[in-house]
Amino acid sequence: MVLRWFMLHLLFGVGLMDTQKPNIIVIMADDMGFNDAGFHGSDEIPTPNIDALAYNGVILNRHYTQALCSPSRAAFLTGKYPIHTGMQHFVVLEMEPWGLRLNETIMPQLLKQNGYTTHAVGKWNLGFFKKEYTPTFRGFDTHYGYWQGFHDYYTHMNKASWSTEIGYDFRRNLDVDYDAKGKYSTTLFTNEAVKLIKEHDTTNPMFLYLAHIAPHTGNKEEPLQAPDEEIAKFAHIKDPERRIYAAMVSMLDQSVGTVIAALREKRMLQNSVILFFSDNGASDFGSNYPFRGKKQTAWEGGNRNLAAIWSPLIQKPQRVSNRLIHIIDWLPTFYSIAGLNKTEIPNTDGLDMWESISEDKESPRTEMVYNIDTIRKWGAIRQGDWKYIYGSTGKEKNSWFGNDGKKKEYSYDVDQILTSKTAAAFAGLITDQQIKDKHSNRRKRRELKIIDKNDIETLRTQAIVTCGPFNFEDQLEENKCNLQLPCLFNIKEDPCERVNLAKSRPNIVRKLEKLLMDYRKNIVPALNEDRDPRANPINWNNTWSSWIDSDYVARSKVPNSFKTTSTMNIIIIVVSSITILFIVFRLSSKLSDTKAKKREQKRKAEAFLSNNSV
């Protein structure tokens, strides 16, 4: 590892202090489909910056995550399967008093104790009912973003899932940031990341966790949102929802380029590792082509997701890797890249994948758990080429989602990739190295090359996953898998999960069932809790807040626009109450007057009868 740092020093001529620990830049997309990036073969949505990162680095063609947001984020930050942290059942919803356990030591805490400056930008979704569960209490020096699973891209209001509670959700550290209101989330997160890079003290390494909202949906009333001028670029996409989705992905792609350009300008790029991936598969609006299923399913479409990594530390870049890697592997892998002591990582399920990524060596991972949910009674596991699934997540759609992105009106613009901000930054870095080599007598470690059109065409062809023509309805009934019974697939030969081999390979089924039962012995029960009505934002200045902390809301200054809303509500209630009381009083008075008049009339009548009686 020391030799690797030293060679990087020679290669790029950067200060030795900078090379000791590389900057770790993680850009996480949210619900982006496997085929929603151009480098996997689709021509529908141009992603020149993401593609340039992938082609210059290593395309991770067998990168697996969890099938949902909270479980994936927990797995990434802890280096553990969700079954070992209690995060396996579902996401952390708005009004639920739970989150990733405080006794879990997570990535920013570990990196911080090794000298890293740590920043989180964007989505959290790992609990906020107590402030101790929020990012700046979990090892991040700063957090700029939101605590929930989603929000409106402009108003930043989050409407509770399957309910009506609604509140503002945008934070700078613990404080509510009302200045963000009306500004597009992806742009805000990009600008914050650039600001952090510009202001970074380069004597310390940086860990930047940029967890974008895009292209996850917002509130159900308007799930897809993007600037009009961006949407207009995709007039060739006939479906209006897919058109907006494409604009959301495009804004994300531009963010990647802007962040990488900022690293280059700050002279941090030559000592950085940049990882881009999606937290899980796409939902209804994205494309997981050619895989089966989508987000929140055990199918490949929910778990095998797009990913790519770039760094000058990579010994064999500009290639496609088909080695198996799981999201839990990143924590020990980052430790390896930075030359840190991996024994510091507590009880990790992850494996160090650095030699596999950098040098194209065999992956140390031969098996993995997709998930085991004892509440919904489903699970999936893989060993070697074999995948075993039993039960349903309850959201199952057993079909194949998305298209190949190939239409005559679409085209793949290689020049757009070669002239992107990302490609320009990498080309500038390589040019710097070539100039230094030209005027130096030292022996070059390896030749770095600026990619060209031929390189892109070759790599793109290698990254495309194909399954060939197939009609699910025409296959033998015994080979179908509708999850009514356990299913078995050879994922290497059948990555699209078309032919169920459970009946023809009973020995393998039994072997994988035993392996899965072994994992079940050490499951941590799911932590999910029922909704707590005290979390209602109406109790907290119309914001989603850490409602268990009674003094928490005092930290936030409420702007006039929000005060006006709350004050008007109070005024309306008071005025309405006074009006009702006045009406009741008047009615009571009239009723009393009427009764008094009747009594007087009765008295007079009785007196008259008495005076005129015989």
Q: SS3 sequence, 238-249?
A: CCHHHHHHHHHH
Burial of 7 (0-12, 13-18, 19+ CB in 10 A): middle
Q: How many CB atoms lie within 10 A of CB 109?
A: 14
Residues 458 and 570 in one domain: no
pLDDT for residue 442 is more than 90 = no
> Which band of pLDDT confidence, cut at 50, 70 and 90, is reported for residue 390?
very high
In this predicted structure, the answer to whether residue 354 has a pLDDT above a threshold of 80 is yes
Pairing of strands 166-168, 157-159: antiparallel
Is residue 145 within 8 Å of residue 171, measured between CB atoms? yes
Beta-sheet strands, E only, within 450-499:
487-490
439 belongs to a structural domain: yes
Same domain, 445 and 572: no
- Domain identity same for 205 and 342: yes
Torsion angle of the four alpha carbons 600, 605, 606, 607, in this order, in degrees rounded to the nearest 10: 90
Residue 568: its H or E element: helix 560-611
Is the separation of the CB atoms in 430 and 450 below 8 Å?
yes
Say whether 32 sits in a helix, a strand or coil: coil
Give 15 or 358, the one with higher predicted confidence. Answer: 358
Residues 453 and 575 in one domain: no
- pTM (two decimals): 0.87
Domain edge (last residue) among 446, 463, 480: 463
User: Is residue 203 in some structural domain?
Assistant: yes
As a whole number of angstroms, the distance between CA 60 and CA 252 comes to: 19
- Judge whether 511 lies within some domain: no
Same domain, 234 and 347: yes
Buried b (16+ CB within 10 A) or exposed e, 178-193: bebbeebbbebbbebb
Residues 309 and 60: beta-carbon distance below 8 Å: yes
What confidence score (pLDDT) does residue 434 get? 84
Interatomic CA distance for residues 491 and 509, integer angstroms: 14
Total domains, the chain = 2
Cα–Cα distance measured from residue 353 to residue 56, given in angstroms and rounded to the nearest whole number: 19
Can you tell me the distance from the alpha carbon of 426 to that of 443, in angstroms, rounded to the nearest whole number?
22
Could you identify the residue written with the tokens 């989180």?
Answer: 120
pLDDT tens-digit map of 39-85: 999 999 999 999 999 999 999 999 999 999 999 999 999 999 999 99
Q: What is the mean pLDDT of residues 531-545?
A: 96
Asked if residue 73 and residue 217 are part of one domain, the reply reads yes
Nearest to 66 by CA among 351, 277, 302, 301: 302
Written as six digits, the tokens of 107 are 């990535």
Q: What is the pLDDT of residue 326?
A: 99
Same domain, 439 and 318: yes
Tell me the two tokens of residue 4: 């690797």
- Other Cβ atoms less than 10 A from the Cβ of 574: the count is 10
Of 463, 487, 506, which residue sits at a domain end? Answer: 463
Indicate whether 1 belongs to any domain. no
Decide if 411 is inside a domain: yes
Higher pLDDT, 595 or 310: 310
pLDDT value at residue 603: 57
- Domain end (from 432, 463, 494): 463
| CATH of residue 75 | 3.40.720.10
Per-residue tokens: 163: 């309910």
Structure tokens at 288: 């997981």
For 456, phi then psi, to 5°, come to: -65, -45
What one-character DSSP code corresponds to residue 473? G
Residue with structure tokens 């809303």? 565
Residue 110 belongs to some domain of the structure:
yes
Residues paired with 378 in a beta bridge: 373
DSSP reduced 3-state for 146:
strand
Q: Is the preceding peptide bond at 46 cis, omega within 30 degrees of 0?
A: no
Angle (CA) 21 200 147, round 5°: 95
The answer to whether residue 330 sits within a structural domain is yes
377 has pLDDT over 70 = yes
In 3D space, the residue among 449, 57, 18, 58 whose CA is nearest the CA of residue 266 turns out to be 18
Is 280 within 8 Å of 303 (Cβ atoms)?
yes
Average pLDDT, the chain: 88
Q: Are residues 426 and 569 in the same domain?
A: no
pLDDT over threshold 50, residue 566: no
State residue 17's pLDDT score.
40
How many H helices and E strands in the chain?
Answer: 16, 18
Each residue's pLDDT tens digit, 122-160: 999 999 999 999 999 999 999 999 999 999 999 999 999
Q: 285 pLDDT exceeds 80? A: yes
Tokens (6 digits) for 91? 């996401």
Which pLDDT belongs to residue 560? 47
Structural domain containing residue 584: 560-614
List beta partners, residue 273.
24
Task: Evaluate whether 208 touches 218 at the Cβ level (below 8 Å).
Answer: no
Average pLDDT over residues 405-432: 92
CA distances from 339 to 102, 151, 362, 366, 451 (A): 27, 38, 21, 24, 29
Q: Which residues contact 230 (CB under 8 A, 6 or more apart)?
A: 247, 250, 251
Pairing of strands 117-123, 206-211: parallel
Cβ-contact 32, 293 below 8 angstroms: no
Is 91 a domain residue?
yes
Token pair listed for 477? 């009934």
| Cis ω before 215 (30° cut-off from 0) | yes
The three-class DSSP label of residue 285 is coil
- d(Cα 242, Cα 501) in Å, to the nearest integer? 35
